[in-house]
C-alpha cells in the first residue's frame, strides 16, 4: 500500500473541483476555496537529552475561517509534508461545515517520530511549536487538537506554553486536553463512536440488522479501537484488524473468524495501537499480510488508519460481500477507487462525515472550556449522536434526491455552506 508519488492535496483539490463544477461555483469562490487562506512553515530547534541540538520542521495551515475559528489537529509523523497538512486543513473545512458547527478548517504537524524521542524531547517540540505560531492561534482564531501520534499530554504542554506566553488562562485554546484540565468527557471515544453512529444509520437505510453483520478494520489507533468496541457492543462481529508491526516495519492483519473480543485485543496493544504479535498468536489470531484487512468476506470495511489506502490497485481486492465502507481515516479512498466503488454500488460513508465525531466533540470541549462549565459523559455522547445522525441523514437525503454518490452529496452540502459564508462576508 505504497503512497509513493501520492499527493493528498492534489486529491483534495480534485474532489473539490468535481463538486464545484456540479454546483456551478463562480471562479473567484473556486480560487478562494481551492487553496489555504494562510500557511506557516517554521523551524523548531531543541536541545536533545544528550546535549546535542536538532531542528524539527513545523507546519500550521489555516484553510478557511469564514464560518468560525480554524480547527484541526497537530500530527507528529516522520513523513509529514506541507501538502498532507494542506489537504487535511481543507478536509477540516468541509468536515466542520457538513456537521454544521461554527468552525473552519486548520491542520498542523511536525516532522518527527515520537517512537525515537524521549517524553522530555517531545515536550520541547510541543512548546517550540507554540512559540513559533503563538500570534496566529488562540481560542478565537485557531484551535488545535491531537492527531496522529499526539495525545492529551502533548496538548496540555502546548496549552501551558500558550498561557505562559500570553499571561492568560485560555483552556479553549486547544482541545483533546486531559480530564480535570479542561478536557471533555466522551472526547476519547468521540471519533470512533461517531463512525459507528453513521454505520448504524446506514444499516437501517439498507434494511440490515447489525447483529447479522461482520466487519474488518484497518488500523488499531484511537478511532479504530472505539469504533470496533461500539460495533461489537451493538451486536456486530469484527473478524479482522490490521496494525503496524514496529519490528518488521510493515503492516500486518490479525484475524479471528469467530469474532474479535475488544477487551482481549486492547489488553495486548501498546499506546501506539500496535498489537503484540506473539501474544495474539497465543490467543488464536491468524497473522496475515498488511493488505488482508481489505480482502475479507465482510459486510463492512472500516479504513481507520492513513490516507490513500483504497486506491486503483487495492479497490480490486474488495469482495462482493461488502455493502458499506465507513471511512474512519482522512482521505483513505482515491478518486480512481471511488469510480470503482460507485460502479459496485457500495454505500460509502465519506471521511469528513464519517469521522467528524472527533471535531464535533472537540467543538463541545471548546464550548465547555470557554464558558468554564462541563457536561456529563452521557450529555456529550447524546449531543454527539444527535449531531452525527442529523448530518448523516442530510447527506443521505440529498444523495437520494439528486441521485448522487454519498461523497459528492456531502461535499455539495459542505461547500455550499462555506461558499455562502464567504459571499455573505463580501470576500468574493
Quickly state the pLDDT bin for 401 (edges 50, 70, 90): very high
pLDDT digits (tens, 9 = 90+) for 126-148: 999 999 999 999 999 999 999 88
For 184-428, CATH gives 3.40.50.720
Mean pLDDT (whole number) for 329-356: 93
Whether 19 shows a pLDDT value over 90: the answer reads yes
Residue ranges of the chain assigned to CATH 3.40.50.10860: 37-181
Mean pLDDT of the chain: 94
What's the pLDDT score for residue 141?
A: 96
Query: Phi/psi zone of residue 45: left (φ > 0), alpha (ψ -120 to 50 degrees), beta?
Result: beta
What's the pLDDT score for residue 2?
A: 41
User: What percent of the chain has a predicted confidence (pLDDT) above 70?
Assistant: 99
Mean pLDDT (whole number) for 369-385: 96
What's the pLDDT score for residue 4?
A: 59
399, three cell numbers: 444523495
The CA-atom distances, in angstroms, between 109 and each of 80, 144, 164, 319, 371 are 7, 10, 22, 36, 28
pTM score over 0.95: no
Asked if 318 and 344 count as a contact pair (C-beta separation under 8 A), the reply is yes
Beta bridge partners of 184: none
Local structure of residue 310 (DSSP, 8 states):
B
What's the pLDDT score for residue 1?
A: 38
Local structure of residue 260 (DSSP, 8 states):
-
Mean pLDDT (whole number) for 23-44: 97
Distance CA 347, CA 345 (A): 6
| The CATH number, out of the four listed (3.40.50.10860, 1.10.3720.10, 1.10.10.10, 3.40.50.2000), of the domain defined by the range 37-181 | 3.40.50.10860
What's the pLDDT score for residue 233?
A: 96
Q: Which residues are catalytic?
A: 107
* DSSP string covering 173-214: G-SSPPTTTTPPTTHHHHHHHHHHHHHHHHHHHHT--GGG-E
pLDDT digits (tens, 9 = 90+) for 225-261: 999 999 999 999 999 999 988 888 888 999 999 999 8
**154 CB neighbour count, 10 Å cutoff:** 25
Quickly state the pLDDT bin for 270 (edges 50, 70, 90): confident
Quickly state the pLDDT bin for 77 (edges 50, 70, 90): very high
The CA-atom distances, in angstroms, between 1 and each of 219, 227, 315, 322, 421 are 13, 23, 11, 20, 38
Mean pLDDT (whole number) for 296-321: 93
User: What percent of the chain has a predicted confidence (pLDDT) above 90?
Assistant: 85
Quickly state the pLDDT bin for 279 (edges 50, 70, 90): confident
Which position has the higher pLDDT, 272 or 32? 32
Residue ranges of the chain assigned to CATH 3.40.50.720: 184-428
Amino acid at each position: 500500500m505504497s503512497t509513493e508519488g501520492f499527493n493528498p492535496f492534489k486529491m483534495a483539490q480534485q474532489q473539490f473541483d468535481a463538486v464545484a463544477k456540479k454546483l456551478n461555483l463562480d471562479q473567484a469562490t473556486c480560487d478562494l476555496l481551492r487553496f489555504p487562506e494562510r500557511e506557516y512553515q517554521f523551524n523548531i530547534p531543541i536541545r536533545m537529552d544528550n546535549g546535542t541540538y536538532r531542528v524539527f520542521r513545523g507546519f500550521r495551515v489555516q484553510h478557511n475561517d469564514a464560518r468560525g475559528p480554524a480547527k484541526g489537529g497537530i500530527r507528529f509523523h516522520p513523513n509529514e509534508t506541507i501538502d498532507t497538512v494542506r489537504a487535511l486543513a481543507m478536509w477540516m473545512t468541509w468536515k466542520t461545515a457538513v456537521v454544521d458547527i461554527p468552525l473552519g478548517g486548520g491542520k498542523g504537524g511536525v516532522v518527527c517520530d515520537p517512537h525515537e524521542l524521549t517524553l522530555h524531547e517531545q515536550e520541547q517540540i510541543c512548546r517550540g511549536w507554540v512559540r513559533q505560531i503563538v500570534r496566529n492561534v488562540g481560542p478565537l482564531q485557531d484551535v488545535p487538537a491531537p492527531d496522529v501520534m499526539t495525545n492529551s499530554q502533548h496538548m496540555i504542554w502546548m496549552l501551558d506554553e500558550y498561557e505562559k506566553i500570553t499571561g492568560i488562562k485560555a483552556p479553549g485554546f486547544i482541545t483533546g486536553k486531559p480530564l480535570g484540565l479542561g478536557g471533555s468527557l466522551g472526547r476519547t471515544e468521540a471519533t470512533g463512536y461517531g463512525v459507528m453512529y453513521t454505520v448504524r444509520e446506514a444499516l437501517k437505510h439498507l434494511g440490515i440488522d447489525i447483529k447479522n453483520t461482520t466487519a474488518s478494520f484497518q488500523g488499531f489507533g484511537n478511532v479504530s479501537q472505539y469504533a470496533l468496541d461500539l460495533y461489537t457492543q451493538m451486536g456486530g462481529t469484527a473478524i479482522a484488524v490490521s496494525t503496524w508491526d514496529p519490528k518488521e516495519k510493515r503492516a500486518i492483519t490479525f484475524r479471528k473468524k469467530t469474532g474479535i473480543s475488544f477487551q482481549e485485543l486492547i489488553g495486548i496493544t501498546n499506546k501506539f495501537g500496535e498489537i503484540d504479535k506473539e501474544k495474539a498468536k497465543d490467543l488464536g489470531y491468524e497473522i496475515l499480510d498488511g493488505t488482508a484487512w481489505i480482502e475479507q468476506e465482510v459486510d463492512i470495511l472500516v479504513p481507520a488508519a492513513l490516507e490513500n489506502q483504497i486506491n486503483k490497485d487495492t479497490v480490486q481486492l474488495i469482495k462482493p460481500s461488502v455493502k458499506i465502507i465507513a471511512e474512519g481515516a482522512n482521505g483513505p479512498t482515491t478518486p480512481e477507487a471511488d469510480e470503482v466503488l460507485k460502479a459496485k454500488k457500495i454505500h460509502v460513508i465519506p471521511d469528513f462525515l464519517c469521522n467528524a465525531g472527533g471535531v464535533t466533540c472537540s467543538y463541545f470541549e471548546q464550548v465547555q472550556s470557554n464558558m468554564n462549565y462541563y457536561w456529563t459523559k452521557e450529555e456529550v455522547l447524546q449531543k454527539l449522536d444527535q449531531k452525527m445522525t442529523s448530518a448523516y441523514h442530510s447527506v443521505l437525503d440529498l444523495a437520494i434526491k439528486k441521485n448522487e454518490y454519498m461523497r459528492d452529496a456531502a461535499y455539495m452540502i459542505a461547500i455550499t455552506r462555506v461558499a455562502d459564508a464567504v459571499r455573505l462576508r463580501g470576500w468574493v
